[in-house]
Structure 1
Amino acid sequence: MISDTDRFDSRLPLQDVTLIANSNGIIDPGTEINHDIEDDGAVASSSKELTGSNNSSPVPYLDPSLQKELAAIMDDSFADDDGVATIFSPDTDENLQIEPVESGLITNMEQDEDESVDDSVKDKNYETESSESNSGDEPRTSAQSVNKKRKRNLNDRQMHTRRDSSVSNSEVNENESRIKKRGQKGETRHIRSMRKTMRNSGREYITKKGKVIPARRCRDLQQCRLKCKERIDDGVRKIIFTEYWSMQSFDRRTAYIASLVSTRPKESTRSKKPGQMIKVCKHCFLSTFDESNKFLTNVLKKKESAHSGITQEDGRGKGTPHNKIPDEVLNLVKEHVSSLPSYESHYCRKQTENKFLSSYYTLTRIYQEYKEWIPDSMTPVSRTIYEKVFHSMKIKIKNPKKDSCAKCDKINMQIKNMSDIDMKQTLQNDLNNHQSDAEYAYDSKRIDIQKASHDKTQSVLTFDLQQCLPTPDIQTSVVFYKRQLWTFNLTLHRCEDKQVFCYMWDETMAGRGANQIASCIHKYLHDNLDPEKKSLTLYSDTCAGQNKNSFLPIMFMLFMKGTSSLECVDHKFLEPGHTHMECDTDHSIIEKKKKKYEAAIEHPRDWMQLVRMCGKTHPFKVIEMHREDFFEFSALLKTYFINKKTNDAGDQVIWRNIKWLRYSSNEFGIVQYKNSLNQEEAFKRIDFKRKSKTGFSKIKPPLSYKGPVPINPKKKENLLELLPYINKNFHLFYQNIMTKDDIPNTIPSSDEDSE
């Protein structure tokens, strides 16, 4: 226990900091100063002594931008008690000692009850301390009058003193309404955290009861026996004060103060090594940090109670809340979320660890299923708690494909929030250029379709991969928690006669990458292209994983090498975000038909039958893809062709900027390209042929698959669990599906994901 007769020997560390005062009184790097502090009231009567430990921490150089703020902080001063100290001069080697004068304890600091004292239930040594009258010579203004005045001017003070602060009460007010919308009532955890941060930063804040607590200030020193006011430069104390409160942590402040003070039986004062510490009185020590005697006393009690001398962590806020949700209840929520069929992203598995649910899931539906799934003996958690656990598990619901352009939405929001007129005009110009490019692409497609309608030698195709079709698609709620087999549909729309071709297969047959897209188009060219056609123009979105890559050029060049009719193929790409095409309209027709379709979809061929029923004037033609229809065109890049990074002029080829690709029958192996759809812009050339290879007429791409494609074991397990709800005729199909452990569960994605 620390008595009033104990000797407080404290030190202000300034090791490795050099400060020199210039003619304007500004403190600059210059000299090394060390501090030692002592309570003068206990020199004659104490049987113990508090001496500074050898621990010290360097105080970094104060940024000049803080000088104005420090000047404002130092405008007001507090009058406190006198004390004594022995000061070791940084400029001389002699030990200057001054006899102690009347002692005093700083005990009437106006503080909030939750501000400076660790009253944690874990702090067994905590004792409350009654306020004492001020022993200083100058009278203090009462806390009540100060608070009233501060409350009247609170808004002005907040705008002035927290203009550059990263944490402010205004931020609390801005966030309060946002957080309350999530279902929380009253004072939120975020507001309490903001208040705690401001309190531990020494800034002005308002307590829960509305009391205004003024900002901490490096208080002026009074005259003392050790002449601390004369020996310790105010600039040094300001730096210590600023760096001390920049810790923004009660635990760090406690540990820091504890490292500067210790207790031991009183001995005669001895000289310390110059340049290490400056011993000062308790009043100087507490005034420098603007801490109270109560805080220092509790720090010493905590330090004495610890055998290692290291203060224990602050226990406030660490207790178990009375309304804490039991772990077993939260574990049930996690178990339910884990039971949902989640998948990895098809295009960005390497960039994210997030799992995704299909777009037909909603949080409302999931929560309703949870309330039905939980045992009757247990009460379900609230929707807010469920969503909090859901998001903490890094699971997201995949956004469905939308017609809205993400780039347009982003720029419009930036324009709305931008105050700078010049920057707003720049953003508006970017938006106008983007929309102009999108409209130009649509006009180009419209013109090409008109030409093909009047010229039988020309043809225009639009193609796109439909969102994955889940199989089996049954109505029972059990399927909500099961992974399903994906059926794929690549739709080609021939614009001159509005004929639709749907190339369909399931994931046990092939994947849905660039080789598979190229194989479907190759099959169309081989089976359905009119021999009279000499020019073919294709339009698609800019999905690099399916359409804009080096595999499609190889397929087109090989096909044109073996045919005598087709002379030119143009592949044009629409502007990202503005890629609605005729084939997308065909997909919406399929989706509408599904809503009215009464027959069960238990097998991939059931989807094919549904698609055949679409289209009134031009029924959709469905082509079932087989394993022998899929070719590995990418394999030829390792043998006969090469994907060059530069064009014939030596310029770098950036595939994502390409808007137009052209292949000619009289220039085998040459890919022409443009970065715009402008007819007047000249084409650039890339030679894909390897110079060392010959016999290109005999090139034949290898098959992509030699056998069935395996799926993930968990997916097959889920499919087998659905067999009781499926016709027996299809059981063997699902039972014979092959599996492989390293097959990822990928989420059905829209084509916009990789644009």
Structure 2
Amino acid sequence: MHRRDKLLKLALDLQAENSAEPSTSQKSRRVSCSSSQSSSSSSSSSSSSSAASTIGSYVSGSIKSSDNIYRPIANSLLQRKVFESLPSTSNLQKHVTNQTELPRQRSLSTGSRSSTLSSRAGDFSPDDNDSDYNPVPDRIIDESSDNEQENLIILPPKKKRKGIINSKKLIAKQLRNSGKEYVSLSKSKKNVPQRSMGPPCSERCRLKCFDKINDGDRTIIFGLYWAMGCVTRQRDFISKNLTVIKPKYSYKKENSNRKPKHGFHLTVNGKQIRVCKIFFKNTLGINDRPIRTVLEKLCDSGMVESDKRGKHGNQVKVVDEVIQGIKSHIDSIPRIESHYLRKQTSREYIDGGKSLSDLYRDYRKLCEEEGKPAGEIHTYRKIFHKDYNISFFIPKKDMCEFCTSYENMSQIEKETNELKYLEHHTEKELSRIEKNEDKQKGQKSYVVACYDLQAVLPLPMGKTSSFYYKSKLNVCNFTICELNKDNSYCYVWSEVDALRGANEIGSCVLKFITEKCQTVDDPNLEIIFYSDNCCGQQKNQFMFSLYMYALANLSIKSITHKFLISGHTQNENDNVHSVIEKSVKKFLKSSPIFVPDQYITLIQTARKRGNAYNVNAMSYSDFYNLKDFVQQCGIKFNKNTDGDAVRLSEIKIIKFVKEDNGAIKIFYKTSFTEDHFYEIEQCRQTRSRRTINCVGFPLKQLNNAKLELTSRKKNDLRSLIDSNLIPRYYAESFYRNIL
């Protein structure tokens, strides 16, 4: 659906709702509200009415798109709790049919939505804060997840910098340059009074300065001079108002030290007026020292030299041996691959179990043991921040880059991006409402689930300092939460069994679908998945081909995958992962973790109330090569039946439906506001066969043996075994088999 049609539908419904009589429930709710809330509601209604008429004027062409029409739209929707008053599809169709003709679409009707969004959006707040989003509002949650927001926009690390705002030296310097009272940083801690303008010159002045410039103009000049607050600019001001005076008669003696005379000027009303030196100094509230400094630094070109304090280049330098030692220590810290932003940032991540001060203490201890010179902590900190792009945390994808960027925009930029922000906010709210609706489907023939991959779980894990500086074995946990049944499934494997790509994710999803088909045993089973927009893991042709394979070979009627909006992908898996992390942290207080089986036990026992997490220990033989399957079948998702190109990155909903004759059709939406689906044209890459048949197609095993670890990881694990930091039992039963 085109943008103009979306705006028109929104405008028509806002007008219809404002003119309609409120329902009984709405009246009763208004009676119970306070007077302040009632006045706010009425102002919001009028704002929505004006916004609706504005949108309608824009769509009809009476207002240009360049006009500032989007701000009242956004304000009215936010004041009205964003989308409480959005209409049902039937009302929209009734109004739109009478106003404009919508473009023809290949459609699969989703059915009318009988209730308004106001009755379905009770879990959402107008002042949306994703950290407070509760993914499970309809049941008691006994394990609350952390509500921290970690910024996706990478900010400079926190460190001491020269000239920070809370520096006593900088504050005193700023006060001194501004002519204000300050406390000297010398040993005496002298209280220096505020600068004040001195009296004019005496009546005996030959230039009669007091008659040329009155006290009011002098006060203005004094204020402007000290308002600069910068020594360089103040020196430039003095230099600009100094001129060399050549006397008419000069009787210069040889080897004379006499310097040329200078005249002083002040500008009033655009006119430069010559004054005496006393008048000049007293007006600015200075003594001879600033004037002498300007004359000493004045070049032949008429420019004043820049301040060279601290720039002499004779500072004490750190020897190269210390610098190389610090860099070697920082390089020895194992890097952790970011689970969320592997391809979006060049920043490296290290385990957050230690602070920068802890790292420095370990470095200094190592230098003492080896008898090498150690640098100071400020040198270590400077090299760590300046020469490396390292952070102690792994950024979460749930912090929306666009929303954060929009909040930091100027007013003009916000007006330019108002419509884009409104559409983004609309998609976010509608995706959550859509998920909340699907969760209410309690029929046996419906399975509603969301899935996500947890951040890697390292092995071995403990408080031993040596563990921190050794490369660790990564353990993966892929979680699927069944929303309408309150069940969670965890699929756990280590990096010697598989990686973390589409093959691994798809194999776990296929295992989940197969088990559900065996449990439900209903040919009309419909499965709905929710996930984030990670193209490398689930939003790709390999996962879509897997859904086709499952439909063709299992008793399933349809599979629908709905992608949450980027930056707003909070879901029930976050709660599961938080519970697991808390369980791991609690266990580490008493004992280290050495093998994957310990993680499996911790996950199984992490939930204290409700259904325990179902854990599946995955082996290398449980994963399938989906990429080979796509290549063999030649499946393509390039065009729809209208001949338009299909961009997988823009898809919000994709639905696979198996018809009675066994044929599979694929439909998709590029927005949650669309009422109808587009259909994808299915074709093979080769011309010999135009149809795709996945029935009975064998899936090849991804790996025939365990994967090899990197040489550095092998050496680090062997060193831990040789130093007896890993118990011999675990070394013989697990680590010897993978090294």
Contact 2:639 2:680 in 1 (8 A): no
Relative distance call for 1:182 and 1:512 in structure 2 (3 A) is farther
In structure 2, what is the equivalent of residue 654 of structure 1?
647
Q: Contact between 1:362 and 1:397, CA under 8 Å: does it hold in 2?
A: no
Q: Does 1:611 align with 2:594?
A: no
Asked whether the 8 Å contact 2:350–2:393 carries over to 1, the reply is no
Q: Which residue of 1 aligns with 2:562?
A: 572
Question: Deviations along 1:479-506, whole A, 9 cap, x unmatched?
Answer: 1111110100011111122011100000
Which sections of structure 1, spanning at least 5 residues, go unmatched? 1-176, 192-204, 220-288, 296-314, 739-755
Higher mean alpha-carbon deviation, 206-215 vs 694-703, is at 206-215
Aligned to 1:699: 697
1:491 counterpart residue number: 479
Amino acid at match of 2:529: L
Aligned AA (2:688): S
Within a 5 Å distance, the mapping from 1:13-24 to structure 2 comes to none
Going from structure 1 to structure 2, the CA distance change for 1:465 and 1:695 (only over 3 Å counts) comes to closer
Letter in structure 1 aligned against 2:427: D
Residue 546 (structure 1) aligned with residue 537 (structure 2): yes
Equivalent residue letter for 1:735: R
Query: CA shift at 1:430, angstroms?
Result: 3.6
- Change over 3 Å in CA distance of 1:628–1:680 after alignment to 2: same
Q: Indicate the residue corresponding to 2:367 in structure 1.
A: 374
Displacement, 1:214?
Answer: 4.3
User: Aligned match of 2:581 in 587, 591, 614?
Assistant: 591
The within-5 A match list for 1:141-290 is: 179-181=162-164, 206=231, 214=239
Describe how 1:83-98 pairs up with structure 2 within 5 A. none
Amino acid at match of 1:527: E
Cα drift, residue 215 of structure 1: 7.3
In structure 2, runs of 5+ residues without a counterpart are 1-159, 175-229, 245-298
Structure 2: distance between partners of 1:627 and 1:468: 17
Contact residue 557 and residue 668 of structure 1 kept, 8 A: no
Provide the rounded CA distance (Å) in 1 between the counterparts of 2:545 and 2:651.
Answer: 17
After superposition, give the CA deviation of every residue in 1:294-323 in whole Å (9 maximum; x if it has no partner). Answer: x9xxxxxxxxxxxxxxxxxxx999975232
Q: What does residue 684 of structure 1 align with?
A: 679
8 Å CA contact 1:341–1:482 kept in 2: the answer is yes
- TM-score, normalising length from structure 1? 0.54
AA aligned to 2:709 is: I
Residue number among 384, 390, 396 corresponding to 1:396 in the alignment: 390
Match of 1:410 among 405, 419, 424: 405
How far residue 461 of structure 1 moved from its aligned partner, in angstroms, is 0.6
**Residue of structure 2 equivalent to 1:736:** 737
Aligned with 1:664: secondary structure?
strand
Choose the corresponding residue for 2:528, options 511, 533, 537. Answer: 537
Paired with 2:651 and 2:469, the residues of 1 have a C-alpha distance of 42
**TM-score if structure 2 supplies the norm length?**
0.55
Distance 1:435 1:536 in 2: 27
1:731: Cα distance to partner? Answer: 1.2
For residue 381 of structure 2, what is the aligned residue in structure 1?
387
Offset at residue 447 of structure 1 (A): 0.5
Q: Supply the distance in 2 between the matched residues of 1:436 and 1:364 (Cα, whole angstroms).
A: 45
8 Å Cα contact 1:438-1:578 kept in structure 2: yes
The answer (yes or no) to whether the contact 2:450–2:481 under 8 Å persists in 1 is yes
The answer to whether residue 613 in structure 2 is matched with residue 620 in structure 1 is yes
Distance 1:369 1:185, change over 3 A: farther
Which residue identity lines up with residue 407 of structure 1 in the other structure? F
**2:338–2:395 Cα contact (<8 Å) kept:** no
Q: 1: CA distance between counterparts of 2:508 and 2:446?
A: 20
Change (3 A) 1:676 1:362: farther
Q: Counterpart of 2:454 in structure 1: which amino acid? A: Q
1:512 maps to 2:500: yes
Alpha-carbon RMSD:
3.9
Q: Distance in 2 between matches of 1:391 and 1:706?
A: 44
Q: Does residue 727 in structure 1 map to residue 727 in structure 2?
A: yes
Aligned residue number for residue 476 of structure 1: 464
Structure 2 match to 1:446: 436
Aligned counterparts of 1:183 and 1:395: Cα–Cα separation in 2? 25
2:706 is aligned to 708
Q: Tell me if the contact between 1:548 and 1:655 (Cα under 8 Å) persists in the aligned partners.
A: yes
Alignment partner of 2:636: what SS?
coil
Tell me, yes or no, if the aligned pair for 2:338 and 2:394 is still in contact at 8 Å.
no
How many equivalent residue pairs? 457
CA-to-partner distance for each residue in 1:550-608, whole Å, 9 max, x for gaps? 111111111111123x1011100111111111121111111111122244311011100
For 1:372 and 1:390, how far apart are their aligned partners in 2?
Answer: 18
- Do the aligned partners of residues 319 and 438 (structure 1) sit closer, same or farther apart at CA in structure 2, a change above 3 Å counting? same
Aligned in 2, Cα 1:737/1:392: closer, same or farther, shift over 3 Å?
farther
Cα distance in 2 between the residues matched to 1:430 and 1:596? 44
Distance 1:605 1:187, change over 3 A: same
Is the partner of 2:638 in helix, strand or coil?
Answer: coil
Corresponding residue of 2:547: 556
Amino acid in the other structure paired with 1:685: I
Contact 2:339 2:394 in 1 (8 A): no
Give the secondary structure class of the aligned counterpart of 1:703. coil
2:656 to 663, 686, 703: 663
Measured after TM superposition, the shift of residue 386 of structure 1 is 1.9
Q: How far did 1:526 drift? A: 1.4
Look up the SS of the partner of 1:180 in the other structure: coil
Pick aligned residue for 1:672 from 645, 656, 667: 667
Give the drift of 1:519.
0.2
Cα distance change of structure 1 residues 710 and 669 upon mapping to structure 2, 3 Å threshold: farther
Deviation at 1:441, TM superposition (A): 0.8
Which SS does the other structure have where 1:725 is aligned? coil
Structure 1 residues 682, 696: closer, same or farther in 2, change over 3 A? closer
**TM superposition shift of 1:400:** 3.0
Distance 1:524 1:393 in 2: 46
Contact 2:658 2:664 in 1 (8 A): no
Report the 3-state secondary structure (helix = DSSP H, G, I; strand = E; otherwise coil) of the residue aligned with 1:628: helix
1: CA distance, partners of 2:605 / 2:408: 43
TM superposition shift of 1:401: 4.5
The alignment partner of 1:736 has SS state of: helix
Deviation at 1:187, TM superposition (A): 8.6
1:682-731 superposed Cα distances (whole Å, 9 cap, x missing partner): 32314154553476423112111111111211011111222211221221
Aligned residue type for 1:534: L
In structure 2, the CA distance between the partners of 1:458 and 1:528, relative to structure 1 (3 Å rule), is closer
- Return the letter of the residue paired with 1:568: S
Q: 1:711 to 1:291 in 2, by over 3 A?
A: same
- Cα distance change on mapping 1:349 and 1:464 into 2, 3 Å: closer
Matches within 5 A, 1:2-21: none
Q: 1:419 to 1:663 in 2, by over 3 A?
A: closer
Deviations for 1:211-239, whole angstroms, at most 9, x for unmatched residues?
7674799x9xxxxxxxxxxxxxxxxxxxx
Distance 1:336 1:184, change over 3 A: farther
Describe the superposition over 1:417-463 as per-residue Cα deviations: whole angstroms up to 9, x where unpaired: x143xx43344544343223212111101101102x2x111110111
Q: Secondary structure at the match of 2:493?
A: strand
Q: 1:601 aligns with which of 590, 593, 601?
A: 593
Aligned equivalent of 2:488, options 500, 510, 518: 500
Contact 1:353-1:394 within 8 A present in 2 as well: no
Measure, in 1, the Cα distance between the counterparts of 2:365 and 2:679.
62
Q: Deviations over 1:600-633 (max 9, x none)?
A: 3110111001101022220111001112210011
**Separation in 2, partners of 1:213, 1:335:** 52
Partner of 1:718: 716
